[in-house]
Amino acid sequence: MTRNLRDFQALPDGVEAQSPDEFLSNLFDLDPNGIVELLRDQAAALKKPPRTFEELVAALAKMVPAFAAAVVKHLAAT
């Protein structure tokens, strides 16, 4: 996982460079409910500053927008 995909184009067979957004989106696809639970746990553990689950997802949207959008879409569908 890297934000510098340009320098990781020539990789051995079976190895793939992914952006953080792509990596997290792929993990989310494997277990959406589990990832939402992990995000809820992470938000609950944040103390300085405290953040709600919604605030955490909004902050993630700035760095990993596709992942955050998938979380929001999943929650709207449930």
Residue with tokens 């184009």: 9
51/67 Cα distance (integer angstroms): 18
Per the DSSP assignment, residues forming a β-bridge with 73 are none
pTM across the whole model: 0.86
User: What is the full per-residue pLDDT of the chain (78 aa) written as tens digits?
Assistant: 878 878 788 888 888 888 999 999 999 999 999 999 999 999 999 999 999 999 999 999 999 999 999 999 999 998
